[in-house]
Amino acid sequence: MSSDIEPFYAIEVSQMAHRLKDGGRSIIHMEFGQPSTGAPRAAIAAAHTVLDTDAMGYWQSQALKDRLARHYDETYGVTVKPSQFILTCGASPALVLALLASFSPGDRVALARPGYVAYRNTLKALNLVPVEIPCGADVRYQLTAKAIEALDPAPDGVIVASPANPTGTLIAPDELKAIAKACGRRGIRIVSDEIYHGLSYVGPARSILEFSPGALVVNSFSKYFSMVGWRLGWLVAPEDLVGRAVALMGNLFLTAPSLSQHAGLIALDAREELDGHVLTYARNRDLLLEALPRMGLNRIAPPDGAFYIYADIGHLTGDSLAFCKQLLIDTGVATAPGIDFDPVDGRHFIRFSFAVSTPEVEEAIRRLEPWFASRLS
């Protein structure tokens, strides 16, 4: 089953972009959800101090777990014990731990299509069976309780993401509650990817733990906290799975980086600086939402959060990968092909990341407008 894993095509586009850059081209990287900002200043300062005073080693910071528990109480109004947090080397290992702790080979796990490429491929790599549910514009490209209820037989698990990648859409609180109830009635374990929490433009995102205390939550310091390269994330595991998740973490990944744990503890209290980044993303979002329709891209998923715009280019191409490569060659703007997120309909979609600086977004628009105009004519 794991032999069916497909490449992450945005990486292919990115490698091409870097080759062009090495050749002297001006490149704007809108292919990855990678903040252009760095870690909070106070977190960097703390890391410098640690480098000078601490030899470090294999470690899980109790102080960071305690602070995360307080974060869930303050942000979502839910009680999570510090022992339920497993600190990981980013969100990707947290997802692996969640799936291995919850399911056995051959188990079926439902997920939205379109959805983050690694959901499908990680499930396959772990010999689990992805059950992709097509989710279109009528449901805002998101899973619904109705769709989960309609699955026959019921899957063993479901992955939800709100805000979602590639669309940025949020699941409304009432719908999230209905999903939790549907899964509870049918004995379906929920894994919630909440990596884009903090990045919302229509009101705060809600945690699945508000509606389903037995769910597993994957999160990371990479997005809102702007600490991609620090490789620090966490898994919230229900108490019945904590022992298994801790054992898996120790055997597969040992510990999260010690230096990053020290910095992450400080980053949790750098909200004013980080919220300033969100204001930049909001401005970038507004610029693109104004400009893309002028380019003929009128069918866009509602980007409620994260920093993506998922746009329908079906009137221009049936091969989104070739389209992204040609766009890159002609304009120097790197984007992600929809086939990463939807192997069926993604050939008609493209994803723009607006996690770059505002001047880069403005320059990208200047390059893109004449290019799309030539395609439309």
CA dist 33 and 46 (Å) reads: 26
The answer to whether residues 296 and 325 touch, using CB atoms and an 8 Å cutoff, is: no
CA dist 77 and 257 (Å) reads: 29
CA dist 142 and 303 (Å) reads: 12
Whether this prediction's pTM lies above 0.85 is answered by yes
Sorted by sequence, the CB contacts under 8 Å of residue 200 that are 6+ apart come out as 163, 170, 304, 305
pLDDT tens track of the chain, all 377 residues?
A: 445 788 889 999 999 999 999 999 999 999 998 898 899 999 999 999 999 998 888 989 999 999 999 999 999 999 999 999 999 999 999 999 999 999 999 999 999 999 999 999 999 999 999 999 999 999 999 999 999 999 999 999 999 999 999 999 999 999 999 999 999 999 999 999 999 999 999 999 999 999 999 999 999 999 999 999 999 999 999 999 999 999 999 999 999 999 999 999 999 999 999 999 999 999 999 999 999 999 999 999 989 999 999 999 999 999 999 999 999 999 999 999 999 999 999 999 999 999 999 999 999 999 999 999 998 87
Q: Where are the beta strands (DSSP E) in 296-365?
A: 308-312, 333-334, 336-337, 349-353
Residue carrying the six token digits 């994803």: 351
**Domains of the chain in sequence order:** 2-39+272-376 (3.40.640.10), 41-269 (3.40.640.10)
